[in-house]
Homo-oligomer: A and B are copies of this chain.
Amino acid sequence: MKARIIITLKRGVLDPQGKAVKGALTNLGFDQVKDVRVGKVVDVELDGVEDRAQAQILVEDMCKKLLANPVIEDFSYTLEEG
């Protein structure tokens, strides 16, 4: 089972990296860019986990214990067989 976890900053949390990227895009002439937020994507390959429900529990546990900081970050994920 493969999991793709997307970790983004919560709304309202300052994102200096996103601001820098927005500035760089504007400098390159992309005037249509109104806002940029930068987050992380973590692709996890799970071995011996065939059950979707079990994978969900595992991934949520990983996010809460290590991958995401619940104070400032939200996470979402998708699961893919194989």
Complex: chain B residue closest to A36, CB-CB? B44
Partner of A41 from the list B39, B44, B48 (CB cut-off 8 Å) is B39
**Does A49 sit at the interface, judged by CB under 8 A?**
yes
Q: Is the beta-carbon distance between A33 and B6 smaller than 8 angstroms?
A: no
Which residues of B sit under 8 angstroms from A24, Cβ to Cβ?
Answer: 66
**Does A42 sit at the interface, judged by CB under 8 A?**
yes
Known: A21-B67, A66-B21. A39 touches B43 (CB 8 A): yes
**Does A62 sit at the interface, judged by CB under 8 A?**
yes
Q: Is the beta-carbon distance between B43 and A41 smaller than 8 angstroms?
A: no
Q: Is the beta-carbon distance between B36 and A43 smaller than 8 angstroms?
A: yes
Which residues of B sit under 8 angstroms from A65, Cβ to Cβ?
Answer: 28
